[in-house]
A and B are shown apart, each in its own frame.
Chain A
Amino acid sequence: MQTVSQSLPGGARVAVRQAWLERGRSRLERLAVPVLLLAGWEVIARSGYLPPSLLPPPTAVLHALGDWTLGIDGTTQDYSGTWARHALSSTWRVLVGFGLAALAGIAIGTAIGWSRSVEKAIEPTLQMLRPIPPVSWIPLAIIWFGIADKPAIFLVFLGAFFPILMNTIHGVRTIDRNLVRAASMMGASERQLLWNVVVPAALPSISAGLRIAIGSAWMLTVTAEMVAVKSGVGYVLWDSYYFLRYDMVIAAMVSIGLLGYLSDWAIKGLMGRVLRWQRTTTVHGREG
């Protein structure tokens, strides 16, 4: 900023400063609503209008969250200082289920998008399975896999698989056919075509699928943990509900939101790196 303003004439320097103030003001405007909401919540919760156990104030949630993560004063009893362990088990389930779904979704989606015969053989079956909500698989998941990581991973897989599959199919079907021609002109075998042309060309669409999928992965981990698993953030949430600890319920909700946000951010960052060819804007312009 400074180097720019130094090289600018006086009038422009004022303009730069004004742009700065403008940006600061817009940041304040963004913060206003959340701050007001939190303050209002605090006031209502403390006013005695509602029993404090029904709507714990944000400060109590923060207190619970602090003790749950760092074990400050034991207000969360058995859960004091266990946040990392639970967050890790949830994250592990999300990662494994999501990873398997990504592998299967991209592989099967590419095959369906590329080959008419694979499409005819597999797609009708998958399209019939797709409308069944993953949550409705819970009973079968429990009787097949018992109560542990496996049913949760299975559900995460189901929830993440279809968005990745659909987006991969779409991406493969809409690639520029001339790229395929160009590659086969350069002597690409069918395998090389798929690996070196079709998948990279479909990546923007695949990446959209991955981002939708990570959202449903978290949704299903939490659901599975409420029902079929004895650890993880979702389990803590449901268990606290049984013990009427609504501050912990909200602390768990906040944690899930945070973890979901972080994993989406990680995927976005990763795809941004892989797809950096997409956002580069022209430096050398239209000179040619």
Chain B
Amino acid sequence: MAEIAIRNVTKTFHDRARARDILAVDTVNLTIADHDFVCLLGPSGCGKSTLLNMIAGFEKPSTGSIEVGGARVERPGADRGVVFQQPTLMPWLDVADNVAFHLKLKGVRRRGRREQAQSFIDLVGLTGFERHFPSELSGGMNQRVGIARALLMNPRVILMDEPFAALDAQTKMEMQEELVRIWERIRCTIVFVTHSVDEALVLGSRIAVMTRRPGRIRDDFAFDLPRPRDVTSPAFNDAKRRILSLIRDEAATARRAA
């Protein structure tokens, strides 16, 4: 069953300073199945975050349509959990209150909020930090809070916008492993935006490679290497070679065009 259906979506931004329109996303068609872990891979500024923001409902497509779970996306909603590039936590709330923010909006009492939050705090490995404020935690820990917050809403889809980009290599690896573990347990649909080929190949059950702006889907393939994935295995490297040659092609075309 198609969980997310993106049909002929384009997005143009108006550049007011230069009085012209910029095409950021060009005719993207993408159907994402239930329980897929899709990595949207592309260079910076290729429109992959714009595409994600449109699925989240933060931005509207200029043309085309996006459906999640059969319903057209019109605005942000709790059926689509978003994990941002920066943790984007409420700095005045402690970890437990941040994780349970969605429940507070629904009017759940404090006790119920704390109880439900606890299992997700445990899930992301932050047991014991319930009462800490975001300013007291490291970047990686805050990002875990952001993930727990998205998971607690029990959304159909989780949208992640380069959530590990600001972390150091070691923390990034830990978080990637943990995310895969959580995804295998909860079996939600994840759309994960990244510019790192390795990250996409470590995480994704499907990889969609985007071109430079205006963003188009250049390649799109299922990647079912067993987990945990060995980043030195031949199969991993084959896939990496495939993507890298694509990127090189792309760069060459761009140079010719310029």
A and B bind: yes
Taking a contact as CB atoms under 8 Å apart, the answer to whether A280 and B90 are in contact is no
Instruction: Tell me which of A186, A189, A201 has the highest count of chain B C-beta atoms within 10 A of its own C-beta.
Output: A186
Taking a contact as CB atoms under 8 Å apart, the answer to whether A184 and B75 are in contact is yes
Taking a contact as CB atoms under 8 Å apart, the answer to whether A280 and B101 are in contact is no
Residues of A within 8 A of B93 (CB): 277
Question: What total of chain B residues lie within 8 Å of the partner, measured CB to CB?
Answer: 37
Residues of B within 8 A of A185 (CB): 56, 58, 76-78, 80-82
A23-48: which residues lie under 8 A (CB-CB) from chain B?
none
B215-229: which residues lie under 8 A (CB-CB) from chain A?
none
Question: How many Å lie between the Cα of A175 and that of B102 in the bound state?
Answer: 20
Residues of A within 8 A of B101 (CB): 183, 186, 196
Question: How many Å lie between the Cα of A197 and that of B98 in the bound state?
Answer: 12
Which of B58, B134, B153 is A186 in contact with, Cβ under 8 Å?
A: B153
Taking a contact as CB atoms under 8 Å apart, the answer to whether A186 and B102 are in contact is yes
Which of A184, A277, A286 is B91 in contact with, Cβ under 8 Å?
A: A277
Question: How many Å lie between the Cα of A179 and that of B88 in the bound state?
Answer: 6
Taking a contact as CB atoms under 8 Å apart, the answer to whether B105 and A196 are in contact is yes
State whether the Cβ of A16 lies closer than 8 Å to any Cβ in chain B. no
Question: What total of chain A residues lie within 8 Å of the partner, measured CB to CB?
Answer: 30
Taking a contact as CB atoms under 8 Å apart, the answer to whether B80 and A179 are in contact is no
Which of B76, B88, B138 is A288 in contact with, Cβ under 8 Å?
A: B138
Taking a contact as CB atoms under 8 Å apart, the answer to whether A181 and B78 are in contact is no
Residues of B within 8 A of A196 (CB): 101, 104-105
Which of A182, A281, A283 is B88 in contact with, Cβ under 8 Å?
A: A182
Take A176-B88, A183-B101, A277-B92 as given contacts and tell me if A283 and B171 are in contact as well, using a CB distance cutoff of 8 Å: no
- Chain B contact residues: helix, strand, loop or mixed: loop
State whether the Cβ of A203 lies closer than 8 Å to any Cβ in chain B. yes
State whether the Cβ of B140 lies closer than 8 Å to any Cβ in chain A. yes
State whether the Cβ of B46 lies closer than 8 Å to any Cβ in chain A. no
Cβ proximity bits A162-188 to B, threshold 8 Å, 1 near / 0 not: 000000000000001011011111111
Which of A178, A186, A201, A288 is B171 in contact with, Cβ under 8 Å?
A: A288
State whether the Cβ of B136 lies closer than 8 Å to any Cβ in chain A. yes
Residues of A within 8 A of B136 (CB): 280-284
Question: How many Å lie between the Cα of A164 and that of B8 in the bound state?
Answer: 49
Taking a contact as CB atoms under 8 Å apart, the answer to whether B91 and A284 are in contact is no
Question: How many Å lie between the Cα of A50 and that of B58 in the bound state?
Answer: 75
Taking a contact as CB atoms under 8 Å apart, the answer to whether A277 and B135 are in contact is yes
B132-176: which residues lie under 8 A (CB-CB) from chain A?
132-141, 149, 153, 167, 171
Question: How many Å lie between the Cα of A192 and that of B105 in the bound state?
Answer: 7
Taking a contact as CB atoms under 8 Å apart, the answer to whether A288 and B78 are in contact is no
Taking a contact as CB atoms under 8 Å apart, the answer to whether B82 and A182 are in contact is yes
Take A178-B86, A186-B105, A186-B153 as given contacts and tell me if A200 and B138 are in contact as well, using a CB distance cutoff of 8 Å: no
State whether the Cβ of A11 lies closer than 8 Å to any Cβ in chain B. no
Taking a contact as CB atoms under 8 Å apart, the answer to whether A285 and B105 are in contact is no
Taking a contact as CB atoms under 8 Å apart, the answer to whether A182 and B139 are in contact is no
Question: How many Å lie between the Cα of A178 and that of B84 in the bound state?
Answer: 8
Question: How many Å lie between the Cα of A101 and that of B133 in the bound state?
Answer: 31
State whether the Cβ of A278 lies closer than 8 Å to any Cβ in chain B. yes
B227-257: which residues lie under 8 A (CB-CB) from chain A?
none
Cβ proximity bits A12-26 to B, threshold 8 Å, 1 near / 0 not: 000000000000000
State whether the Cβ of A78 lies closer than 8 Å to any Cβ in chain B. no
Question: How many Å lie between the Cα of A203 and that of B76 in the bound state?
Answer: 26
Which of B77, B88, B90 is A181 in contact with, Cβ under 8 Å?
A: B88
Question: How many Å lie between the Cα of A284 and that of B80 in the bound state?
Answer: 32
Chain B residue nearest to A283 (CB atoms) is: B136
State whether the Cβ of B106 lies closer than 8 Å to any Cβ in chain A. yes
Cβ proximity bits A256-288 to B, threshold 8 Å, 1 near / 0 not: 000000000000000000010110111111111
Instruction: Tell me which of B91, B132, B134, B141 has the highest count of chain A C-beta atoms within 10 A of its own C-beta.
Output: B91
Question: How many Å lie between the Cα of A197 and that of B75 in the bound state?
Answer: 18
Take A280-B133, A286-B138 as given contacts and tell me if A182 and B105 are in contact as well, using a CB distance cutoff of 8 Å: no
Question: How many Å lie between the Cα of A287 and that of B135 in the bound state?
Answer: 13
A142-172: which residues lie under 8 A (CB-CB) from chain B?
none
Take A178-B86, A184-B76, A185-B56 as given contacts and tell me if A288 and B139 are in contact as well, using a CB distance cutoff of 8 Å: yes
Instruction: Tell me which of A188, A192, A200, A277 has the highest count of chain B C-beta atoms within 10 A of its own C-beta.
Output: A277
Question: How many Å lie between the Cα of A281 and that of B78 in the bound state?
Answer: 32
Chain A residue nearest to B78 (CB atoms) is: A187
Residues of A within 8 A of B58 (CB): 181, 185
Could you tell me which B residues sit within 8 Å of A by CB distance?
56, 58, 75-78, 80-82, 84, 86, 88-94, 101-102, 104-106, 132-141, 149, 153, 167, 171
Ordered by A's residue number, 11 sampled pairs between the chains whose C-beta atoms are within 8 Å are A185-B58, A185-B78, A186-B105, A187-B105, A187-B153, A203-B92, A277-B134, A278-B92, A282-B137, A288-B138, A288-B171
Knowing that A181-B58, A185-B82, A280-B133 are A-B contacts, what are 6 other residue pairs whose CB atoms are under 8 Å apart, sorted by A's residue number? A182-B82, A183-B101, A187-B78, A196-B105, A277-B91, A277-B134
